[in-house]
């Protein structure tokens, strides 16, 4: 399985989602590039943001499946 977005616009949308989740978690945008942080600190940030992104993407997929299922009834 390739680790590339199917739609080229998806990368921009995922980056926007990443920034929104970081803001929800109280992280500053200036800290997201990791240039002034240790690898351990960057791993902590990436883990929290990545985990929340996964949860949101799964929820969005479930909602889309439910809409599709309910429209067939």
Report pLDDT for 66: 92
Tokens of 68: 């599709």
pLDDT of residue 5: 63
The reported pTM is 0.58
pLDDT in tens, 21-36: 878 877 766 555 556 6
- Cα separation, 32 vs 18, in Å, equals 9
In the chain, domain spans: 40-73
Eight-class DSSP state of 58: H
Return d(Cα 12, Cα 8) in angstroms, integer: 8
| The Cα angle at residue 42 between residues 21 and 30, in degrees rounded to 5 | 60
Q: Provide the token pair at 66.
A: 């439910």
More confident residue, 9 or 1: 9
Task: Quick: pLDDT tens for 9-65.
Answer: 888 888 888 888 878 877 766 555 556 667 777 677 667 778 888 888 899 889 999
């Amino acid at each position: 399985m390739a680790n590339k977005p199917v739609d080229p616009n998806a990368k921009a949308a995922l980056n926007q989602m990443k920034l929104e989740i970081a803001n929800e978690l109280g992280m500053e945008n200036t800290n997201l590039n990791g240039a002034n942080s240790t690898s351990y600190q960057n791993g902590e940030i990436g883990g929290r943001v990545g985990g929340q992104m996964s949860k949101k993407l799964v929820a969005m997929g479930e909602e889309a499946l439910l809409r599709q299922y309910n429209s067939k009834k």
